[in-house]
Amino acid sequence: MSARTLPALSLDQLASIVGARLVAPSGERPPIRRVTIDSRECEEGVLFVPLRGRFTDGHLYLGEAFQRGASAALVQETVFSEAGSALLKHVVQTRGALLVVTDTLEALQTLGEWYLSSLRVPIRIGVTGSSGKTSTKEMLRAVLSLHYSRVWATEGNLNSEIGVPLSILGIREEPEVVICEMGIDHVGEMDVLARIVKPNLAVVTGIGSAHLERFGTRERIAREKAKIFSSFDDRSVGFIPEDEEFFHVLVEGWRGTFLPYGPATVEGFEGWESRGLEGVILSWKGLRIPLQGYGEHMVRNALGVIRLSGHLGVPPSMVAEGLQAYRPLFGRGELKEIGGVWFLVDCYNANPESMRASLEGVRGLKGIRRRIVVLGSMRELGDAAPSEHRRLGDYLAGYPADVVLLVGEEMEAAFAVLEGRSGVWWMRTVEEASSLLVSIVQEGDLVLLKGSRALGLERIIQDFEGRYHA
């Protein structure tokens, strides 16, 4: 993750913004111009932000950060109280500085909030939901970039309490529009993201079962995601799927206006049709719009973009041009051809709703030899995991796949439903699945890769690329 560029800030200014205690030798110091959480990217003018994670603690790399030339580093009060003398040694030797804070992550978030607020962006769009966030964000970027001269959107999948402020700190010129993907995996995260972004327009793509283990119920997921509206005033507008089960839960208690979107509520929508491996055609207001995507879920995402764009006054022809220019990011419904085999790579996340949407998206595709589905475990479903995987097995029992490869411990429950059927395998590891797939795949086949990111199904793509491009 590359260092993020800031306007030049003195250490005193920075300390004031994040509420830090400045510890530094006397003398002139270069201003802070960039921020990073990776000590390997440190050099003069860079602020290093050490974060504590599940597997390591960024404070362990403070020495390396200063050796590489970092001008300053945040440090948590508890760490400074225990190792202050050693840290001061690095500071003195390198002419660096320490900014002592209660919590380095909160300080990073405060800095991101301050920076975005200082830009005074008139249109701030938040995108959340259990699936489809990145696709919707990228479609919005493609459309609105044609209507406004300066549109900025969060990069890739930087949608968390770490990724959003880091991404914001990379804004280089004052935009007219910011589009922030806002994902949550624990209670309280949306409070933080909404405080940083303060969206005045927001799109919810739908409430599913992602991270159910941490929230308990889908209604609780809805209530947490609804906090994206917490910064709304009377002029703000939220866009929610017309058939969303938790529509009323989402809008309850917030200011602003809330508009449904979908086939029945988007004016001028005339339907859609599949183009096989080339995606779909969306018909709207007499326009036929080629869209890189598969299935009804992608059409629904596009309808949300159409609804929001119309609210902003974007002409229909420009909306169509932008949607046609949209291209999926890697792992988000990207189509790749390797050695005559087509891979539909949709392995960034997986929950029951997105799993079924992906399968339905390739159900009726024409122009392929065989339909092979490689499905990885759906993680973070908690106590619902066994039953949800069994339900997937029931669904697959009537699904028109020529080959089904189930991957991961949790998928054993789905396999138990399908065991004994021809063309169905269950493997514990991605490596086993990749080896088997290599032995059975044929030119002209379509392979859907769908599973939770933690499983790493994209390694199958890497294996095939290594085999055919060596």
Task: Report helix, strand or coil for 110.
Answer: helix
Query: Does the annotation place 132 within a ligand binding site?
Result: yes
Which string of DSSP letters, residue by residue, matches 424-449? EEEESSHHHHHHHHHHH--TT-EEEE
Q: Classify 45 in phi/psi space as left (phi over 0), alpha (psi -120 to 50) or beta.
A: left
Query: Does the annotation place 160 within a ligand binding site?
Result: no
Residues in Cβ contact with 91 at an 8 Å cutoff, skipping those fewer than 6 apart: 23, 24, 25, 66, 97, 98
Query: Does the annotation place 133 within a ligand binding site?
Result: yes
Query: Does the annotation place 56 within a ligand binding site?
Result: no
Residues in Cβ contact with 23 at an 8 Å cutoff, skipping those fewer than 6 apart: 80, 88, 91, 97, 98, 99, 100
Rounded Cα distance between 429 and 434, Å, is: 9
Rounded Cα distance between 257 and 238, Å, is: 6
User: What are 369's two structure tokens?
Assistant: 């030899």
Task: Report helix, strand or coil for 51.
Answer: coil
- The answer to whether 202 and 125 are in contact (CB under 8 A) is yes
Residues in Cβ contact with 81 at an 8 Å cutoff, skipping those fewer than 6 apart: none
Query: Does the annotation place 134 within a ligand binding site?
Result: yes
Task: Report helix, strand or coil for 158.
Answer: coil
Annotated binding site: 129-135
Annotated binding site for ATP: 129-135
